[in-house]
Structure 1
Amino acid sequence: MTVALMWEARAVEGRGRELLTWARAQTLPARPLRRETFHGSHDRVLVITWWDAELDAELPELPEPEGELVTRMVHRWRFESMGSD
């Protein structure tokens, strides 16, 4: 089974590139099958990691950024892949 973990944060206004740099520099204790990083409107950063694991498996996730880099707590979601079309 493939599980996708989504991590999304919103930077303080004008600090989106800094948050993007921070997110890309984060390492995980295990290597996912795939990792992709996105930068969006309103200084949002999204990181998706794919894992060969069960939906409820204990998996490493990116941490909360320290300090005043983000406007709110990080949002996290977990999805089971249904395949690609």
Structure 2
Amino acid sequence: MAVTRAQVRALLAPSGENRSLVLLEGRTEVVPSERLASEPYRGAMEITSGRELAATLPSGTPTEQDIDAVASRLNSAITHLGA
């Protein structure tokens, strides 16, 4: 269920602004936002979008420390939800 560095990078990539991090059946996954309403993702909980995540960081390329901090915050948020 842990949010990985690769998932955070995917959300922060230029194409990531149109992607979302979701929690589905105990696992996290990065999916195109327009697919959230499709059958495979019905019932998934959207944790954040790439656009929302990018808005929380300073401009420029995030460091590895930034990536780790974001992943840690997202993992804490998921744990706080009781997932």
Select the structure of larger CA radius of gyration: 1
Judging by fraction of residues, say which structure has more helix.
2
TM-score w.r.t. the length of structure 1 is: 0.26
TM-score w.r.t. the length of structure 2 is: 0.26
Greater RCO (CA < 8 Å, at least 6 residues apart): 1
Judging by fraction of residues, say which structure has more strand.
1
